[in-house]
Amino acid sequence: MRLGQLTGGDEAVAVTGFAIDHRKVAPGTVFGAFRGTRVNGEDFIAEAVRAGAVAVVAAPDAVVEGAVHIADDEPRAAFARLAARFFGPFPATTVAVTGTNGKTSVVEMTRQLWRMAGHHAASIGTLGVTTADERVTTGLTTPDVVTFLSNVAGLAREGVTHLAFEASSHGLTQYRTEGLRVSAAAFTNLSRDHLDYHGDMGAYLTAKLRLFSEVLCPNGTAVIWVDDPEAGRVFDLAHARGNRLVTVGERGNTLRLVGREPTLLGQGLVIEAEGATHRVQLPLIGAYQAANALVAAGLVIATGAEVGPTLAALARLQPVRGRLERAAIAPSGAPIYVDYAHTPDALEAAIAALKPHAGGRLIAVFGAGGDRDAGKRETMGQVAAARADRVYVTDDNPRHEDAATIRRQVLRGCPEATEIGDRRTAIATAIAEAGAEDIVLIAGKGHEQGQIVGDLVLPFDDVSVAREVAA
């Protein structure tokens, strides 16, 4: 492909690929040089050109010699648009999901519902790239734009027609999800997270809203969980842009949740839609799982599915890895659940989901990640102290922070908790203590397969550990 075909100009030079890492530049590459919080990509322009870059996308005042300078005040966005033209075509139907909690579950449930409707569907997010046949882990909720677009194009070549992806606040701010025609976008909820990056809740919400103000097609559909306090902001924005609205929740107009009854292994839902009442046995526990399932149903309906069959298909949803996943049964008979909850709101929701199913105590094992928003740690401890009956505070992913310091910050909110630094020992102790009527919740890491300590990723899977110590 010629560069002029991408830019709309007359540059005849051949383009062979795109890169934002100068070490991945080969002859014919378009290099993206961006100013970041830790690294300034402009410092590597000369090296990229020497390696064969034929064009550099950078700010207007960047110094580019020996290659075409594609100047833009927002070079990340310009780079993404060019990369999309290079990598396309993409799946015909694409939807995106943003919010603090629930993104992973919603995109995976959306994929499952599409598959049940006969579509060749895939999802991209925290769990990786998931299709009906395989899963490829990417390690990031929203990978860099080159990886993202090349993965999506690869899915299209494999016959995938329907794609759901997570749009994280980082990804939206850094233009990692540009270039696709997003026909429907969903908002789940907003609570404290990533303030180490965004600074305050206003900036965090603004980052989320970019999915609706810029990424969603002007004639696309906004799917909104309207029971969240910030849903009104999304509603007003979508209404102002003329987007079609699909609202779900207890106050929803499209899918109204009018009843929810916990059962032994799930919950019965009563949903009003299109003037009819639908009763669904959802095989997942917890109010937030019901919310995720209804948002997913809203996305599927927004992309052309009929309401009745879509709601009926909710009864066949499979659990999402690391999201209230029942990992094992303790020797006493107590069920052991693993959940990704790593924010105060998510931890409270996970405990609330399990509480109705516990005849005895709810035993929680959790910690907090290092190099992340430290302000939420004490609040997570307060949530555990208020909602759980027994609490063990342990290590999560300490990263480059002192693990003991992180635990002390969590313990300020739950001073009566038991502190056990080694995560495996904490899990084993909680399981050994659990009685037949108790439930054990292991929170924070969910699907993750490793524990990050310094620059090392040590093998660690909460589900596998729970099964081993419970055996």
Q: Name the DSSP letter for residue 319.
A: P
Q: Is there a binding annotation on residue 135?
A: no
Flag whether 176 is marked binding: yes
Q: Is 318 annotated as a binding residue?
A: no
How far is residue 342 CA from its own chain's centroid? Answer: 12
396 assigned ligand-binding residue? yes
Distance CA(107)–CA(128), nearest Å, equals 11
**Whole-angstrom distance, CA of residue 125 vs CA of residue 130:** 9
Phi and psi angles of residue 175, each rounded to the nearest 5 degrees, phi first: 55, 40
105 assigned binding-site residue: yes
Please report, for the chain, how many H helices and E strands are present, in that order: 16, 23
Residue 360 labelled as part of a binding site: no
397 is in an annotated binding site: yes
Residue 254 annotated as binding?
Answer: no
Tell whether 174 is in a known binding site: yes
Q: How far is residue 269's CA from residue 257's CA, in Å, rounded to a whole number?
A: 7
Residue of 117, 66, 124 lying closest to 90 (CA atoms)? 124
With beta carbons less than 8 A apart as the criterion, state whether 105 and 323 touch: yes
What pairing do the DSSP bridges indicate for beta strands 162-166 and 121-125?
parallel
Per-position DSSP letters for 245-288, written without gaps between them? EEEEETT-SSEEEEEEEE-SSSEEEEEEETTEEEEEEESS-SHH
Q: Residue 225: name the closest of 205, 245, 201 by CA.
A: 245
Instruction: Provide the angle, in degrees to the nearest 10, between the axes of the packed helices 376-387 and 403-411.
Output: 50
Tokens read off for 416: 């009566």
- Is 123 annotated as contributing to ligand binding? no
130 is in an annotated binding site: no
Q: Is 263 annotated as a binding residue?
A: no
Known binding residue 141? Answer is yes
- The annotation status of 208 as a binding-site residue, yes or no, is no
Distances (CA, A) of 420 to 31, 178, 264, 430, 464: 47, 43, 32, 10, 19
| Contacts (Cβ under 8 Å, ≥6 apart) of 20 | 31, 32, 34, 41, 79, 144, 145, 146
Q: What residues does 130 pair with on adjacent strands?
A: 123, 135
The answer to whether 73 is annotated as binding is: no
CA dist 129 and 127 (Å) reads: 7
* Residue 319, preceding peptide bond in cis (omega within 30° of 0): no
* Cβ pair 152, 91 in contact under 8 A: yes
Q: Which residues are annotated as a binding site?
A: 99-105, 141-142, 168, 174, 176, 372, 396-399, 444, 448
Q: Which residues are annotated as a binding site for ATP?
A: 99-105
Q: Which residues are annotated as a binding site for meso-2,6-diaminopimelate?
A: 372, 396-399, 444, 448
